[in-house]
Amino acid sequence: MEKRKKFMLSEADIPTKWYNITAEMKNKPQPMLNPETKEPLKAEDLFPLFATELSRQEVNQTDPWIEIPEAVREKYKIYRPTPLVRATELEKALDTPAHIYFKNESVSPVGSHKLNSALPQAYYNKVDGMTNITTETGAGQWGTALAFAAKTFGLELAVYMVKISYEQKPYRRSLMQTWGAQVIASPSMSTKAGRKIITDHPNYQGSLGTAISEAIELAMQTPNCKYTLGSVLNHVSLHQTIIGLEAEKQMEMAGEYPDVVIGCFGGGSNFSGITFPFLRHNLQGERQTRFVAAEPASCPKLTRGKFRYDFGDETGYTPLIPMYTLGHKFTPANIHAGGLRYHGAGSIVSQLLMDGLVEATAIRQLETFEAGVLFAQTEGIVPAPESTHAIAAAIKEAKLAKEEGKKRVILFNLSGHGLIDMSAYDQYLAGDLTNHEVTDEEICKGLEDN
């Protein structure tokens, strides 16, 4: 029988509900805490910062299914459902008995999965009567997604972009500006948090943690303005489950069920999105699928971090979040996978990791680019440097299958394409890229600085 390459759903198959895994977890993630009182945060405590409905979703641990608003589903149609593709050419190149599938989130107009949460976040802020929203962006993926979403729902957006990316990835800035957002390099002189860091460290290249501090500060000082975050938080993971819910139907069309599901890991949103709907069947005792989070060896919060309460940002403006963390003052090396340069992991995935329900692997930069180039040369898509971590982990699984001489069904999320990251590929092809080693001392120091 001829091998089928792509599995496509129709618009009518776009899920009508997101999946809230916390409702079905035996050990619930611990609550976020108010840093001053150490009291657990209720939805109302989050209202000053986030849209009402997003705040409710953040703390909802009872409803397994949350209705997707019709207005959001309508916008999802711009690019959803996304294809599930069998990586037949990569399988051939690896000469593996494994079947490798990937969910192609790179087809969104912004080039990544980030739009899945940007659209509902902009929508709920509009419903709340906001006129402005703020956010931060690392590599620029979240900023571009939110820029389009804000324009779509008629909101003004200010984006604090990590300075190193602002300089390395000028086209992401152009995209945000094309969609009408205001982009500011972070650290900037426009906030107290930014001014303090610039004064203390004049050459600081910025980090997600600092940019978050700046975006929160601006939101708190501006009327009718709230803050949004593109990863880490529970409501972001919730929105991203649309990836796995579609993939589940598509794997059914393929007549297979994954033995292992893989996602790259920054704060956890795309990993949550592809895995939670499948993990549900493990929780219900029906399946024993493995779930692998692929993180950069230079920012190894899952494999070498500690589980504890920590701030989500550098300055300490956010609530305390229960997470695997390297410490909120930890500054990761300037790897090209900017979206993975974050010190902590979302609280749901952190709890799942602690309970042994998901696994993690750390991968070095050179191995990820080697995987990315092989994927580009076989499947044709140039993957985002972030996504190459998932590909490298999938290749490892496929090689293991070959060694064992056993079929293994592998599913990974292609979180984005790399067409705006070509300078990274240039450097790799020129032999100018290196691995960044993190010593135990650096990790201890990051955790002590808390």
Ligand X SMILES: *Cc1c(COP(=O)(O)O)cnc(C)c1O
Interface residue list for ligand X (CB under 6 A):
112, 114, 141-142, 231, 264-271, 339-340, 384, 386-387, 415-416
Using an 8 Å Cβ cutoff, are 316 and 35 in contact?
Answer: yes
Q: How far apart are CA 196 and CA 317, in angstroms?
A: 14
Shortest distance, position 196 Cβ to ligand X, whole Å: 26
Shortest distance, position 197 Cβ to ligand X, whole Å: 22
Shortest distance, position 431 Cβ to ligand X, whole Å: 25
**From residue 319, how far is each of 38, 42, 258 by CA, in Å?**
9, 11, 36
Q: Given the structure tokens 């998932």, which residue do they identify?
A: 390
Using an 8 Å Cβ cutoff, are 273 and 240 in contact?
Answer: yes
- Whose Cβ is closer to ligand X: residue 364's or residue 389's? 389
Q: How far apart are CA 55 and CA 48, in angstroms?
A: 10
Shortest distance, position 208 Cβ to ligand X, whole Å: 10
- Whose Cβ is closer to ligand X: residue 130's or residue 345's? 345
Shortest distance, position 237 Cβ to ligand X, whole Å: 8
Shortest distance, position 295 Cβ to ligand X, whole Å: 9
Tell me if the bond preceding 35 is cis, omega within 30° of 0: no
- Whose Cβ is closer to ligand X: residue 225's or residue 295's? 295
Using an 8 Å Cβ cutoff, are 414 and 104 in contact?
Answer: yes
**From residue 218, how far is each of 106, 117, 283 by CA, in Å?**
31, 21, 41
Sheet holding 260-264, edge to edge: 6-7, 84-86, 99-104, 409-414, 260-264, 290-296, 359-363
DSSP category for residue 268? S
Shortest distance, position 215 Cβ to ligand X, whole Å: 15
Shortest distance, position 97 Cβ to ligand X, whole Å: 28
Burial of 289 (0-12, 13-18, 19+ CB in 10 A): middle
3-state class (DSSP) for residue 129: coil
- Whose Cβ is closer to ligand X: residue 117's or residue 315's? 117
Mutual angle of helices 365-379 and 387-404, in 10-degree steps: 80
- Whose Cβ is closer to ligand X: residue 331's or residue 368's? 368
Using an 8 Å Cβ cutoff, are 266 and 344 in contact?
Answer: no
- Whose Cβ is closer to ligand X: residue 390's or residue 401's? 390
Q: Report the greatest alpha carbon distance in the chain.
A: 66
3-state class (DSSP) for residue 101: strand
- Whose Cβ is closer to ligand X: residue 275's or residue 315's? 275
Shortest distance, position 143 Cβ to ligand X, whole Å: 10
Q: How far apart are CA 275 and CA 262, in angstroms?
A: 8
Q: Please compute, for residue 99, the number of CA atoms within 13 A of its CA located in the half-sphere on the CB side.
A: 15
Q: What are the strands, taking DSSP E only, across 215-363? A: 225-227, 260-264, 290-296, 306-311, 320-325, 359-363
- Whose Cβ is closer to ligand X: residue 142's or residue 425's? 142
- Whose Cβ is closer to ligand X: residue 194's or residue 372's? 372
Q: How far apart are CA 374 and CA 179, in angstroms?
A: 33
- Whose Cβ is closer to ligand X: residue 126's or residue 339's? 339
Q: Given the structure tokens 């993690």, which residue do they identify?
A: 360
Shortest distance, position 349 Cβ to ligand X, whole Å: 9
- Whose Cβ is closer to ligand X: residue 20's or residue 104's? 104
- Whose Cβ is closer to ligand X: residue 115's or residue 193's? 115
Shortest distance, position 386 Cβ to ligand X, whole Å: 3
Shortest distance, position 95 Cβ to ligand X, whole Å: 28
